[in-house]
Chains A and B, each alone.
Chain A
Amino acid sequence: MGQLSTTAFLISSALKVLGVFTIWLLAVAGVTLAERKVAAWIQDRSGPNRVGPWGTFQPLADGLKNFVKEENLPAGASRWLFYLAPVISMFPAFVVFAVIPFAAPLATPWGGVNMVIADLPIGFLFIVALGSLGVYGLVLGGWASNSKYPFLGGVRASAQMISYEVALGLSLVPILMLSGNVSLPGIVHQQQQSLWFVLPLLVGLLFFTISYFAETNRLPFDMPEAESELVYGFHTEYSAMKFAMFMMAEYSNLIIASALIVTFFFGGWDIPFWTGDDLRYAADGSIAGGQSAWWITLLTGLAYALKVGFFVFLYIWVRWTVPRFRYDQVMALGWKILIPLLVVYIIVLGAVMLLLEGAGITFGTRYLLWLTALNLILMLGIMFWLDRSRIIVGTGWRQMRPQQAKPRG
């Protein structure tokens, strides 16, 4: 068993690309249905239940309907940008997954196959670079419509997304500090060997999740479409398939967010407490760390899907539970809380890591347990400090409580 020949590599890549893309499209359709089903479940109603058993074919019916509906072009809209915006919005949402490993590597008669579409040495930067392209679709869509609500939604979206881009980038720094490489299969492998990074980077996970909620414009931060203020935000003027494409981009980003949380903090496709799946693909095409088998690849793939599914559910759950922030509160949270706290966190983490190295503890389970203890303490501190209307105006419990009526005497 050795490295794949060029032909075998191209064929396996094409198969992986087609397979993942198909599953991705199905998953996006599934999440649109899941959103409505979970919403219905939380609000104690039935949700879609007419098309197929339990409404399973609802996304199919929606797709067909959107495909043949009349598409509207508002007067005075920039025609080309108006048509281009959904494409720009959808494109990055569908390609970021290329660098995320989704199962254990598989040995085939032609050589080892790594279960990631492209094992780039710069996988991390690929995600950051392409992930931030999504904002163009929103801004162009809002601008091209030549209508006031979409325009406001567009500028809000741009300001919010670039603000949280900074917080998101900063919350990725601790992962890089701990793992010391930018290849995603490498990060997954390190978590398999020691602890999942959710423990030693608990505070990082908190900040990462908050920033990604804002970055995907999900509900506590869905300023760009705030339907009680901006009708439907940046895609108010869109109809038919172009509207559906914005929706697909949104749900695709949702899955990417969950996949990234799982990859960075929850061990990727690793099955916990089982060493049989600690396989690692080496550059020469061999697979180290154990015997590769098709069922291990399948099991790890399922474990990955399960973990991602849980975080998708978490996203939907939060959307139907938490009310929306005001715009100034969202911006204040990004600039005045997340960024300073992340800078402090990076410094504290760096200092403690240097101390540990100085004390002769090398990277391993013990090292990570020390960091876990640190993170638990920091987490407690944050919980105590939690903003009570000191920095973000109007979020304090004091204002929420009705004024005590003075006893009449």
Chain B
Amino acid sequence: MLREYVPVLMIFALSLGTALLMVIGSHIFSQYRPTPVKSQPYESGIPALGDTRERFAVKYYVVAMLFLLFDVEVVILFTWAVVFKRLGLFGFVSILIFLLLLVIGLLYEWKKGALEWD
């Protein structure tokens, strides 16, 4: 029923309110006296070298792309798993084919070295 969602909105409002109150409250109650040295980014005590927001390893992008593929797979598996007992053998064979395709994909990524970190 739709009214079951009202408490969810309540706890959303409560958590968000508490979190915002903490940030704003501590902003009001605490002191802030910045000095150029104090507001330097921490880099083990030496002056910061270069810019932080440069390019970084492409590995992370590859992992993100793999994640997209496999997470969609998981979502499809969820829907299948809920009705698994009703679908019976037909559903099982279908999901076997589906999983086979994805496992081939995973093996391909593995052999191509997309999962290696060095």
Contact = CB atoms under 8 A, between A and B. Distances in A.
Interface of A: 6, 9-10, 13-14, 16-18, 20-21, 66-77, 83, 86-87, 90-91, 94-95, 98, 117-121, 124-126, 128, 143, 145-149, 151, 155, 158-159, 162-163, 165-166, 169-170, 172-174, 176-177, 180-182, 231, 236-237, 240-242, 244-245, 283, 327-328, 331-332, 335-336, 339-340, 343, 346-347, 350-351, 353-354, 357, 363
Nearest to B31: A70
Interface in B61-103: 63-64, 66-67, 70-71, 73-75, 77-78, 81-86, 88-89, 92, 95-96, 99, 102-103
A327 B78 contact: no
Nearest to A89: B19
Nearest to B15: A94
Contacts of A236: 42
The 4 closest A-B pairs by CB, nearest first: A241-B26, A147-B41, A169-B74, A328-B117
B105 to A, nearest CB: 11
Interface of B: 1, 3-8, 10-12, 14-16, 18-20, 22-23, 25-27, 29-34, 36, 38-44, 48, 52-53, 56, 59-60, 63-64, 66-67, 70-71, 73-75, 77-78, 81-86, 88-89, 92, 95-96, 99, 102-103, 106, 110, 115-118
Nearest to B77: A173
Contacts of B41: 74-77, 145-148, 237
B11 A98 contact: yes
Contacts of A166: 67, 70-71, 73-74
Contact of B77 (A143, A180, A231, A346): A346
Contacts, number: 224
A390 B38 CA distance: 48
A17 to B, nearest CB: 5
A268 B77 CA distance: 24
B33 to A, nearest CB: 7
B23 A86 contact: yes
Contacts of A340: 103, 106
Contact of A118 (B7, B19, B25): B7
Interface of B is mostly: helix
B29 to A, nearest CB: 5
Contact of A241 (B22, B32, B71, B89): B22
Given A118-B8, A146-B53, 12 more contacts: A13-B7, A75-B39, A76-B52, A90-B18, A95-B8, A149-B42, A149-B43, A151-B53, A241-B25, A242-B26, A245-B23, A346-B99
A68 B30 contact: yes
Contacts of A237: 41-42
Contact of B10 (A14, A163, A343): A14
Nearest to A98: B11
B81 A173 contact: yes
A94 B17 CA distance: 11
Nearest to B88: A354
Nearest to B89: A354
Contacts of B1: 283
B14 to A, nearest CB: 6
Given A151-B52, A231-B44, A72 B38 contact: yes
